[in-house]
Amino acid sequence: MTGKKVLILGGGFGGLAAAQQLRRILPSEHRIVVVEKKSFFYLNAFNMQLITGEMKDSREGQRDLADLARKDIDWVHAEVQSIDPAGKTVRTSSGTLGGDYMIVALGAEKTPETMPGFAESACNLYDASGAIRIREALKEFESGRIVILCCATPFSCPGAPYEAAFLVDSALRATKKREKVEIALYTPEPRPLPATGTAMGEAVLGMLKERSIEFHGQHKARRIDGAGRKIIFESGEASFDFLVGVPPHTAPRVAREAGLTDESGWIPVDLQTLETKFAGVFAIGDITLIRQPNPTGLLLPKAWVFADEEARVVARNIAAEILAGQGRSKFEGVGSCYLEMGDDMAAYGSGNFYSYPAPRVYLEPPSKRFHTERRELERERLEALV
């Protein structure tokens, strides 16, 4: 059999999960090539451990992508400069590559520069250095108003800003400063985690209320006035003394220029196979636009648990085609996540996002068991992916 080549653009969670799954299924004559400009993989969920101090330095959660060679996976250390999806070729900073199949897993780019005042005023929750800044600032913060701001939707890991609010509350209670501090969360979303349906959102609202954390939905920011310490929304404004921000997200420029995206700015894919409009070209993870197949029309959350399962489905189907195997896999929209609550506690949400007539997702109450399970899962996935 003549060997085939699968090009995977992006060495994040989805890209690496696809590479590992393909390598387990395909014989060695078939090449698996990951193109990634970073030299390491870092699980962004570890930012929560940076905030709590469980992890002191982000390097504790990094793994060298050069180690992929041990698993017979090729890593091209280069930046993707342009994509030809029809020809399944990609031009990179180190040359042009072609393949028989292509998986686009470039993720969502965080663009704080598109929100005026963000870079000067906010600690970026989605950046490891920003998470450390939050941890250090909480040690010194004595009184005032802390705001967690979601600039725009959609954004990766929809639970992250709510986790940040709970962790800030927990840290301030531990140092007996909570009574002197207001905590508020502003977001364009109508309620927490809207893609999960009503049950989980209402549960999170209840937990925010229990902890006296303000929730302000349907607030879309226009700019941040750092000097005046206030956020200007499309309607109204809010003051802050310390600001934690979720920056705007966008699909990478190369995906847009390649004609892979639609008017939403993201890559539409088949709901079950994750194939794009180009045969043999798939997209997984945060770069995709997946609208739930029910009357709600809600978008599937951009979360690593979905990137992981999408990667498995795509890898199995590519391998089945190469090996002339049977039994194609389908992505069914089932997912779960842990929600950090502070105090070594986590809640657990799970369900079917493709359920009809609406997503059926529920949140189990916080417990130390769920917190332990989350830590074990994060470590297991980090070690398995590289």
pLDDT over threshold 80, residue 325: no
- Grade residue 1 by pLDDT with cuts at 50, 70 and 90: low
Comparison of pLDDT for 128 and 325, the residue scoring more: 128
pLDDT of residue 96: 98
259: tokens are 């004609």
Residues 232, 128 within the same domain: yes
Give this prediction's pTM: 0.96
Residues 194, 171 within the same domain: yes
Residues 325, 204 within the same domain: no
Domain span at residue 56? Answer: 5-108+251-333
φ, ψ of residue 50 in degrees (nearest 5): -70, -35
35: tokens are 């193109």
pLDDT of residue 327: 73
Across residues 152-177, what is the average pLDDT?
Answer: 97
CA atoms within 13 Å, Cβ hemisphere of 34: 34
Q: Is residue 386 part of a domain?
A: no
165: tokens are 């609010």
| pLDDT tens readout for residues 31-90 | 999 999 999 999 999 999 999 999 999 999 999 999 999 999 999 999 999 999 999 999
Residues 214, 296 within the same domain: no
Residues 118, 240 within the same domain: yes
φ, ψ of residue 19 in degrees (nearest 5): -60, -45
pLDDT of residue 50: 97
Cα–Cα distance between 101 and 20 in angstroms, integer? Answer: 16
Residues 100, 213 within the same domain: no
Residues 243, 283 within the same domain: no
How many structural domains are present in the chain?
Answer: 2
Residues 275, 236 within the same domain: no
What percentage of the chain carries pLDDT values higher than 70? 99
pLDDT of residue 2: 83
Domain at 277, CATH number:
3.50.50.60
Q: Is residue 342 part of a domain?
A: no
| pLDDT tens readout for residues 90-105 | 999 999 999 999 999 9
pLDDT of residue 292: 94
pLDDT over threshold 80, residue 294: yes
φ, ψ of residue 178 in degrees (nearest 5): -60, -35
Q: Is residue 344 part of a domain?
A: no
